[in-house]
């Protein structure tokens, strides 16, 4: 069915509007805001969590909380990846919509030219060439005119070929836009699924913590500090930092300065500043401030950035944690890292070995200054 210029323009505008709706921060996959109070929470995936009772095993509670927040962190990176893909696809759809409009305008112009050429041929082509030669008052002028007609026919043939190519381009743009819409919808669903998982795990952790008495909360905080100190001591005791004397590059120093300046700001999943951050939001924005764009998520940072040995790391490098690369911090020297830990915590400086290290990646491949 032939679609007019007005119809294609309307379709393009619809494409842009739809993209705006899908990508808008106020849709179903936006940040949920403050967590619900324990009494109002309907999410209770804590059947396997330790129940509130005097003399409970707080070490088991600590491990359960770590598990819940780790699952939330993994889902946060899934959400961030889907968000990044959705933004890219939205931009591609808008670009395709513009191409569709321009393509339709070009096609309409070619059709007008082809119609004019056809009408011209009709007006001059009513008699056979032999008859027009016999009736002509000036045979030489007729033959010259015949040559122009042949040239016109060739031009018309070229015009029709261009018209066909324009139609094919328009068809391809439309197909590409449809494909991008399908991908955008898939990522919208992935974001919604990840958001539900995040909210479920955070609600479960908050419910578990809310059931603790004040004295138990204080003991739990001590257990967390002791576990971190034990892990850091073991890491340092391995001798991993004995030969670590590499200095940061200029960009590395700027990234460290940015990241450490955020200490005290709250963790918020999906956030990239300036008021709050999640773990990869902090590291990616720190490097953007230093003039180096890097991937948004910790998994992408692990997959796409240059990997370096721990003994060769320098300030500004990123330490990726856990087997699923679900957490990241920035090494700042002296065995320490700055990172955004988890919901309910603020950006802080901690021992680089307090969590299981998967590896180290380097955003800036420049040479560090000589000693």
User: In a structure prediction context, what are the per-residue pLDDT tens digits for the chain, which is 371 residues long?
Assistant: 444 443 443 444 344 344 333 333 333 333 333 333 333 333 334 334 444 444 457 778 877 887 887 788 878 888 888 787 777 777 777 777 777 777 777 767 766 666 665 565 555 554 444 444 444 555 555 555 555 455 445 555 566 666 777 777 777 777 777 777 787 778 778 778 887 878 888 888 878 777 788 888 888 888 888 888 888 888 777 776 666 656 788 999 999 999 999 999 999 988 998 999 999 999 999 999 999 999 999 999 999 999 999 888 999 999 999 988 989 999 998 889 999 998 888 899 999 988 999 999 999 877 666 55
Question: Which of 359, 356, 248, 353 lies closest to 310 in space, CA to CA?
Answer: 359
Residues assigned a catalytic role: 279, 327, 339
Instruction: For residue 320, list its beta bridge partners.
Output: 328, 359
Using CB atoms within 10 Å of the CB of residue 126, give its burial: 0 to 12 exposed, 13 to 18 middle, 19+ buried: exposed
Between β-strands 348-351 and 336-339, what pairing exists: parallel, antiparallel or unpaired? Answer: antiparallel
Question: Which of 64, 54, 46 lies closest to 215 in space, CA to CA?
Answer: 54
pLDDT at position 217 is 81
pLDDT at position 100 is 76
CA 286 to chain centre: 17
pLDDT at position 360 is 95
Between β-strands 306-308 and 327-333, what pairing exists: parallel, antiparallel or unpaired? Answer: unpaired
pTM of the prediction? Answer: 0.55
- CA–CA separation, 342 and 268 (whole Å): 8
- CA–CA separation, 201 and 195 (whole Å): 10
């Amino acid at each position: 069915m032939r679609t007019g210029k007005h119809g294609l323009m309307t379709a393009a505008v619809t494409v842009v509007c739809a993209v705006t709706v899908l990508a808008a921060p106020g849709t179903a996959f936006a940040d949920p805001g403050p967590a619900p109070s324990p009494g109002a929470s309907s999410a209770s995936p804590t059947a396997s969590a330790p129940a509130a009772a005097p003399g409970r095993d707080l070490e088991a509670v600590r491990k359960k909380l770590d598990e819940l927040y780790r699952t939330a962190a993994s889902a946060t990176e899934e959400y961030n990846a889907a968000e990044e893909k959705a933004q890219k696809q939205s931009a591609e759809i808008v670009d395709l919509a513009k191409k569709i409009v321009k393509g339709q305008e070009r096609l309409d112009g070619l059709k007008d030219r082809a119609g004019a050429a056809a009408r011209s041929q009709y007006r001059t082509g009513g008699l056979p060439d032999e008859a027009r030669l016999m009736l002509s008052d000036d045979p030489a002028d007729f033959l010259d005119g015949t040559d122009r007609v042949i040239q016109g026919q060739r031009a018309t043939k070229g015009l029709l070929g261009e018209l066909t190519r324009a139609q094919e381009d328009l068809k391809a743009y439309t197909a590409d836009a449809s494909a991008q819409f399908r991908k955008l919808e898939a990522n919208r669903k992935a974001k919604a699924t990840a958001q539900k998982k995040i909210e479920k795990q955070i609600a479960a952790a908050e419910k578990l913590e809310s059931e603790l008495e004040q004295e138990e909360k204080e003991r739990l905080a001590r257990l967390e500090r002791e576990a971190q100190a034990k892990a850091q001591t073991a890491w340092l005791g391995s001798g991993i930092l004995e030969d670590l004397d590499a200095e940061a590059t200029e960009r590395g120093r700027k990234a460290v300065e940015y990241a450490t300046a955020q200490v005290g700001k709250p963790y918020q999943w999906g956030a990239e500043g300036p008021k709050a951050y999640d773990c990869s939001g902090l590291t990616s924005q720190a490097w953007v401030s230093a003039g180096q764009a890097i991937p948004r998520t910790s998994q992408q940072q692990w997959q796409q950035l240059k990997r370096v040995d721990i003994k060769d790391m320098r300030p500004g490098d990123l330490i990726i944690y856990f087997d699923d690369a679900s957490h990241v911090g920035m090494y700042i020297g002296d065995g320490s890292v700055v990172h955004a830990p988890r919901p309910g915590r603020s950006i802080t400086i901690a021992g680089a070995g307090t969590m299981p290290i998967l590896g180290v990646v380097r955003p800036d491949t420049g040479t560090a200054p000589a000693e």
